[in-house]
Amino acid sequence: MDNKNLLNNLNEQYNFELESAYIYRAMAHWCEINSWSGYANFLYKQEAEELEHADKLKAYLLDLGYNVKLKAIAEPKSEYDSLEDIFKSALEHEKLVTSRIRMLFEEARDINDYATEDLLRWYISEQVEEEASFNDIIERLERINGSMSGLYIFNNEMAARQ
Ligand SMILES: [Fe+2]
Ligand SMILES: [Fe+2]
């Protein structure tokens, strides 16, 4: 089994998870600048999750003796119109991640790389949760519809994410 190309692509995904972490960190900064500490807390926790996703890929690659490489990370967007804009962008980003994971999974299948397929199955389930979580937040924000008291109550709930 020649999985060199697949491992290179996993290394790309490792870097993409780091980029995801960076994007969520920038979103958290926007929230802090705009005095929404609860939403910022949620996004910092999200950043930490992305770092875990990255670490899991890195550990797998290292187990296979792959020479893991860090790449330059693109400067994340720092200007947003609103909280809704942030969480809609986050959902779009997660959809992009999902499509990347699916492509990796298909590549693993094509070359009968069962171990990588197994690893990627974890990411596929994780992406369902990630998309559901952002969908839920967007729905809540749409229901709040710009009401300040609604945004504050939700902010306090978001502060509680562990
Ligand atoms: Fe991720
Ligand atoms: Fe994610």
Tally of structural domains, the chain:
1
Contact 155, 38 (CB under 8 A): yes
Q: What is the CA(142)–ligand 2 centre distance, in A?
A: 21
Domain span at residue 105 reads 4-158
- Residue 122 belongs to a domain with what CATH number? 1.20.1260.10
State how far the Cα of 145 lies from the Cα of 122, in Å rounded to an integer: 35
Ligand 1 centre to CA of 17 (Å) is: 5
Distance 4 CA to ligand 2 centre (A): 25
Tell me how far the alpha carbon of residue 24 lies from the centroid of ligand 2, in angstroms: 9
- Which amino acid does the sequence have at 50? E
Q: What is the pLDDT of residue 60?
A: 98
- pLDDT tens, residue order, the chain (162 aa): 899 999 999 999 999 999 999 999 999 999 999 999 999 999 999 999 999 999 999 999 999 999 999 999 999 999 999 999 999 999 999 999 999 999 999 999 999 999 999 999 999 999 999 999 999 999 999 999 999 999 999 999 999 988
